Amino acid sequence: MKTTLHLTTAAFVGVLALGLSTLATTPAASADGKELYREYCKGCHEEGSPNGEYTPMTLIQDQWIRFFDKKYERTHKSVIDEQRGGKPVTETISPEDLELIREFAIEGAADSEHPMTCG
């Protein structure tokens, strides 16, 4: 009986540890590009910012595509995210979250069917 209890407890702890280890690297189930843009980007790119004000409407779709495909890594690798352990934002934003932010920016671009700001 004791052996079975120990094995069951060990299995439960292992499954729990595995679940918690993936939790930190997966995007929030309810997160969308707009929320992620507000969380990761808006603080440095709001009106009056020395880094420039950027909302989806700031650029057209082709410019956003070019930015994420060719410029993001280069321009943001030295930007430190103090709220997330002092790491570069290129390390703190998961690829999945970055893709959602990218989609939000492109879908809300100045030349899209539904241009938008970040609110």
User: pLDDT tens for residues 65-112?
Assistant: 999 999 999 999 999 999 999 999 999 999 999 999 999 999 999 999
Confidence band of 62 (pLDDT split at 50, 70, 90): very high
Query: Percent of the chain beyond pLDDT 70?
Result: 74
Q: How much is the pTM?
A: 0.73
Give me the mean pLDDT over the 13-23 stretch.
40
Alpha helices in 24-94 (DSSP H): 33-40, 61-66, 72-76, 89-92
Residue with more model confidence, 91 or 10: 91
Strand 87-88 relative to strand 80-81, pairing = antiparallel
Tell me which architecture the domain covering 31-107 has in CATH: Orthogonal Bundle (1.10)
In the block, residue with structure tokens 């410019």: 63
As a whole number of angstroms, the distance between CA 82 and CA 73 comes to: 18
Please state, rounded to an integer, the average pLDDT across all residues of the chain.
82
Segments making up each domain of the chain, as ranges? 31-107
